[in-house]
Structures are given as C-alpha cells and as structure tokens.
Copies of this chain bind each other. A is one copy, B any other.
Amino acid sequence: MRPQLGKDKILQAALSLFAQNGYHKTSMNEIAKGAGVSKGLTYNYFESKQALLLAIIEQASKKMFDVAEKMSTPSDYKSMLKIFLDQYFLFLKNNKKYLSFQLSLLFQPDLKKIVEGPLQQRAERLLSNTVIMFREAGASNPDLTARRFMSELDGIALHNLSVFKDYPLDEMHTQLFDNYKDLK
C-alpha cells in the first residue's frame, strides 16, 4: 500500500494555519493548499473541519504528555522543581503561537465542546503530578500549594501571551524558583 504522505502534511499545515490565523479564519481550501494537496484528500482523511481540529489537539496532547513525563523522573524536590520550571518556561517561549491558539479554543463556546475532553485530561494530569511533587517536598497542604503554583504559572503565561508589553519572563522564572525552592 502506498504511504499516506498527505495526511501528516495536512495536520501540519492545519496546525500552523490555525495557530497563525485562527480556526474560523482558516478555510479548508487554504489548509489543502498549504499542505500541497487537494481539498478532496483532506476530506478523505478527516470527516470534517472539526474532526481535523480534534485530531490536531490529540496529537499535540500526546507530545505534551511526553514533556510532562520528564518532570516525574524521581529525584529530590529542588531538582524536580528546577526541571519542571525550566521545561515550562522553555515551552512558553517556543510555542507562543500554539499556546495562544489552544487558549482561543477554550474560550470559544463552539470549539470548547470539541476540545475540552483531551485538554481537561491533560490539565488534571499535570496538576496531580505537581501535587505529588509538593507532597514529597513535605508541603503542609500539597493540594492547595499545587493549585496556587499552577495558577501563578498559567497566570504568567496568560500575561506573557496577551496584553502586557515587554513581559519580564526570565525574571519571573528565577523569582518563582527562589520562592518555591524552600517551601514555607
């Protein structure tokens, strides 16, 4: 059987265009053109535009799970914290467009329905990993500490991605580490 050369190209092109111009502003024709294939082929692999979106999210979620696994390599608290923060801020810097796209999905009612399943799963998993980290560090209330930690991280991501100019990302990174390295 001939290899499915097109399918992957379509996924890549769609992700790139969705992230750049938004879901609603990207037509299936553009995606096909971007992938160097016909529209028909696109519909041969994906039932609908929404199905294509879901496929993208599931693919990206898998990649992020892999990154999250790196964190859970058992070691002492301070190292885990450092690894986690380094990974998080690195990802933040390298994936601004994709992260914006993902956030846009969560706040558009029609798209939220499609993607909330996989995204929820990913978020809960990340949170529970963080709880474990703080529990091993001997936090008095690891659950709450994890919630606040993740809130602050995601808040930083939000500010960095949205309205604030010249966001001091590196400064926030070092500050966070200093703040959390010795648990109160």
Q: Does A120 contact B (CB under 8 A)?
A: yes
Minimum Cβ distance to chain B for residue A120 (Å): 5
**Stretch among A16-24, A32-40, A68-76 lining the B interface:** A16-24
Tell me how far the C-beta of A48 lies from the nearest C-beta in chain B, rounded to whole angstroms. Answer: 16
Q: Does A150 contact B (CB under 8 A)?
A: yes
A121 to nearest B CB, angstroms? 9
Q: Does A90 contact B (CB under 8 A)?
A: no
A108 CB-CB contact with B under 8 Å? yes
How many identical subunits does the complex contain?
A: 2
Instruction: Confirm or deny: A110 has a beta carbon within 8 angstroms of a beta carbon on chain B.
Output: yes
Contact B155 A119 (CB under 8 A): no
Pair A158/B148 contact, Cβ less than 8 Å: no
Selected contact of A158 from candidates B108, B116, B155, CB within 8 Å = B155
Q: Mark A146-182, 1 if CB is under 8 A from B, else 0.
A: 0110111111101101111100100110010000000
Chain B residues positioned under 8 Å from A161 (CB to CB):
106-107
A148 to B176, CA, bound (A): 9
Given A104-B108, A165-B120, decide whether A150 and B144 contact each other with a Cβ distance below 8 A: no
**Cross-chain contact B162 with A106 (CB below 8 angstroms):** yes
Is A123 part of the contact surface with B, judged by Cβ < 8 Å?
Answer: yes
- Asked if A132 is at the interface (CB within 8 A of a chain B CB), the reply is no
A172 in contact with B147 given A22-B108, A25-B109, A108-B104 (CB within 8 Å): yes
Contact: A109 with B148, CB < 8 Å? no
Given the known inter-chain contacts A104-B104, A165-B120, please indicate yes or no for A110 contacting B151, CB distance below 8 A. Answer: no
A/B interface sample: 8 pairs, CB < 8 A: A104-B108, A123-B162, A124-B163, A124-B164, A127-B164, A148-B175, A152-B152, A158-B158
